[in-house]
Chains A and B, each alone.
Chain A
């Protein structure tokens, strides 16, 4: 009890020393946490872009040949057809669910209002593959695809233009190129171009437009885990398509094959480097924090050499002086370390909320929310506390070893 009173009195009476030392600790921890949180925020945001379901997705786009092959000239457009779909759905064990895409554009009208429209014919799985977000109603389902009904999912932009903001269009009919489509859902606008994105069942599109060439095939895959798996599968797809469409398998512009998994792995590789970089900076900051705190501790103890000498002359034992100095530094480092930790986490939290709101408000797809692992925070704080105490301990031990008379005359 008396011991603690002595300690707290010494801390209180030497305010500037206490606060200066404490500030060094708080600042070190604070900066470290904010830095790590910001880095984590960016990494998490990118990770979120690749959600689990959309990661196992392949998309094949039409292209133009750039090499002559088997009598065909260059600049021949390669579109996809039903043969390709059949091949993908039956021949490859990795293809799970597939949706071809084709489209037509025209004018959509409701009552006296009209707007240009871009109508995609897709299968239900398209929603998962392309992460289409529904605002109300539903997406095209398997029943629609089977029956070929004239159902349509329109995007938010079109809804606002035809029906007015906030008015539900569900169950109403829009007229597209003289055909009436029943609105079953509203989705978030992905493209902000004028036509927007509206969806009808693929079978409906085929029956009304008699389309046999498709510009894009997207499908989910299974059983592809590694980069090597993906590269091998991409190569397989290209050679098979080259065979079906008679183009040079080495001609990479004939069709574009995009693997989300491959992109994900690539991005993650970049971000692993980024994360390592953040850790190195964080570690460097921690080191400079430790050096700063150690220095202050060292100088503090040096300054107290006289006091140590006086106390020894008055009958203080080295152990009791050492105990009070170490306890003092322990209290300073713990209390101020905690304050720095708390402030850092608060800043990370608040900035996360503010950034989240801004991003939501501007409709940004990337969501940077600073976050931090509490274990790392605690470990860093503990490390700084331990180092601060050790930094006080060693010079203090040296100071109490000095003969009292020399310590008292120390200047």
Chain B
């Protein structure tokens, strides 16, 4: 599903910053992996490249078999729209749209009709137990609810991949656990999932933990979440 070969990325600022120094990575279809690393290790940059939100300097990135390189802005937008669902730490909901409208928004950019859009959005909200909150604005929702809305939004287009950037970073431990539980359930449906986190407790709920350090992959740890008793896990 995702295949990276020798990806390099440098930020040219006052002092050039070589953030990713030759990343080779393969993530198969239906895998649930996490990327861990200290801040500055390049994990967010990597996720942005995976999400085609940022470009890279050299190497090859294949997504769903297609080379993601030198795309026009429109091609990138189409690929994001069709293949990828995003979940962000700060939720990134549009404040003046209701929960339902936020969830329906990606469908708008797929030219799905209004009625169909809202119907699908409601279905996904219902799936996350938020049907009664469909007409609420983001500022009327709790953190956990907001994250569930953004998960519904990420899933409504039925993407191949979910990219989550610190999805529990702004949530308390109980809500975090709930969110991770939902993500696991989503993963069971066969969606590939990449989660960036710096919390081990979150990473332990994924099948593969990729440790990133100073722009290179330090090691890849395989993990079996089912063998861990999370009720004892201290966050």
Chain A residues within 8 Å of B, Cβ to Cβ: 2, 5-6, 9-10, 13-14, 306-307, 309-320, 403-405, 408
Contact = CB atoms under 8 A, between A and B. Distances in A.
A29 to B, nearest CB: 27
Contacts of B93: 310
A306 B113 contact: no
A314 B109 contact: yes
Contacts of A13: 96-97
Contacts, number: 62
A2 B74 contact: no
Contacts of A319: 74
Q: Is the interface of A mostly helix, strand, loop or mixed?
A: helix
Contact of A307 (B80, B81, B94, B101): B94
B42 to A, nearest CB: 14
Interface size classification for chain B: 20 to 34
* Most chain A beta-carbon neighbours within 10 Å: one of B73, B77, B82, B97: B77
Contact of B153 (A312, A314, A404): A314
Interface stretch (B18-26, B48-56, B219-227): B48-56
A151 to B, nearest CB: 83
A308 B153 CA distance: 16
A91 to B, nearest CB: 86
Interface of B: 48, 51, 53-54, 73-74, 77-78, 80-82, 86, 88, 92-94, 96-97, 101, 105-106, 108-110, 113-114, 153, 157
Given A314-B81, A314-B105, A2 B114 contact: yes
A311 B94 CA distance: 9
Nearest to A307: B94
B113 A2 contact: yes
Given A307-B94, A311-B109, A315-B110, 8 more contacts: A2-B108, A309-B92, A310-B93, A313-B92, A314-B80, A315-B109, A315-B157, A318-B73
Contact of B94 (A2, A310, A317): A310
Contact of B77 (A6, A14, A312, A403): A312
A310 B108 contact: no
Query: 4 closest Cβ contacts across the A-B interface?
Result: A315-B81, A13-B96, A405-B53, A315-B109
B109 A313 contact: no
Contacts of A315: 77-78, 80-82, 106, 109-110, 157
Nearest to A306: B92
